[in-house]
Amino acid sequence: MYITEEHEMIRKTVRDFAEREIKPVAQELDEKGEFSLPLTKRMGELGLFGLITETKYGGSEMDMLAYVIAVEELARVDGSHAATLAAHISLGMGPIMNFGTDEQKQKYLPMLTTGDALWAFGLTEPDAGSDSRGTKTSARIEGDQWVINGSKIFITNGASSINKGATVQVVSGENKGKKEFTTILVDADTPGFKRVSMHGKMMWRASDTAELYFDDCRVPLTNTLGKRGEGSKIMLNTLDSGRLAIGAMGLGCAQGAFEMALQYSKERKQFGKPIGHFQVNTFKLADMATKIELGRNLLYKGCWLKTNGKPYAKEAAMAKLYCSEIAREVADEGVQIHGGYGLMKDYPIERFYRDQRLLQIGEGTSEIQRLVIARHIGVFDE
C-alpha cells in the first residue's frame, strides 16, 4: 500500500494526542456520558476536522488514507471521539463537499474545519433505518421556502452546543407514483427545528447522539443540497464514503483491544507463568493480529481506490463489514484473556467490548453490507 511519511506523521500526531489527552479522561467521560467540548476543540486545533477539505475552505486537502488513519488512531484509544470526527467529516461535511454549490461551501465549510462547529447527517428515522427509502419526514414548497415536518433519530453530533445544523433527507413529493427524496441543509437556529440529546447509551457514551424534530420548519429553497429528487442518491453516496471511516473505527477498536490483551497476557500469571505462554492464549493473540492485518490491508485498499478515482463501493462495504466484525471478535477475545477483570470498568477492555457493538449496526448493518457486496459481485444479475 502507499504509506508515505506524511501518513506516518498523521499517525504519530494523532496517536500522541489520543494517548496524552483522551486516554486519561476517556473512562470518566464514558461514566458520565459526557461529550467533551475541550477535546473536540483540540481535535480542531490539530487540523483533524479539515484533513480532506480543500485548502480554499480552510482544510489540508489530504487524501482519504490520512483521514482514515486519524480515525483509526482515535478509535485505538476511544470510540466516542473517533465517532465525533468520523461522523462530522464523512456524514456532516461530506455531502456539502461533494454536492454543495460554491455558495453553500463558502458558507459552511470554513467554520466546519475548525472544531468550533459540528454538522449532522439526518437520515435515520424511527421507521427508516436499513430501509432509507422509508423516510417519512416531509417538505413542501411555500413561496421561496421549504416547510419541513417530521423527525430523525440516532443522529451523531446532532445536539451538542456547537452543532450548527444538519443535512436532512425529506420526502419532497412523488414522481411516477414513487416517493421523491430531496436533501436540505437546515441551520440549527431555524425556528421549528428542535434538537434533543439521547442518553442511556451502551456505547460511545462520550459522543453526542440526538433526536431531531421539525415542526413547520421553514428553510430557504437556496438550502437545497443538489437537485430536487436527488436526495437518496446523495445520501447513499455519502454512506459509501462513510463506510471507510466506520471500517477505520473497527480497525482501531480491534488494534486497541489486541494491545490490551497482549499486555495483560504478559503481566497475568497462572500456574507459575504468564498466561500468554499457554497455547490457547498464544493462538488467540496470533489470530487477533492476523485479522487486524487483513482488515488494515482491505481498508487501505478502499482508500487507495477512492483517492485515485476508481470504483470503491464494494471494497468500502467489505472493509466496513470485515473491520466491524473483527472488532467484535478481538474485543470478545480480549475480555476472555482478561478473565473476570475484563468485566470490570477499571479495565478499558470493558469499554471497548461495549463500543464495538455499534459498528455492526451504524451506517448500514452487517446484513446490509452483505447485500451491497452481493449486488457488486453479481449475485442478482439476470
Task: Note the residue count of the chain.
Answer: 382
**Using CA atoms, how far apart are residues 248 and 12, in angstroms rounded to an integer?**
16
31 catalytic? Reply is no
The type of residue at 365 is: T
Number of H-type helices and E-type strands within the chain: 12, 10
Given the DSSP bridges, would you call strands 118-122 and 163-175 parallel, antiparallel or unpaired? parallel
Q: For the chain, how big is the Rg over CA atoms in Å? A: 21
Instruction: Round to whole Å and give the CA distance between 283 and 242.
Output: 33
| CB proximity list for 290: less than 8 A, separation 6 or greater | none
- How many Å apart are CA 203 and CA 83, to the nearest integer? 11
**Among positive and negative, which fits the CA dihedral 163, 164, 165, 166?**
negative
Contact by Cβ (8 Å): 162, 116: yes
From the list 125, 333, 350, 363, the catalytic residue is: 363
Question: 147: which strand partners?
Answer: 140, 218
All three cell numbers of 197, joined, read 440529546
Task: Give me the active site residues, please.
Answer: 363
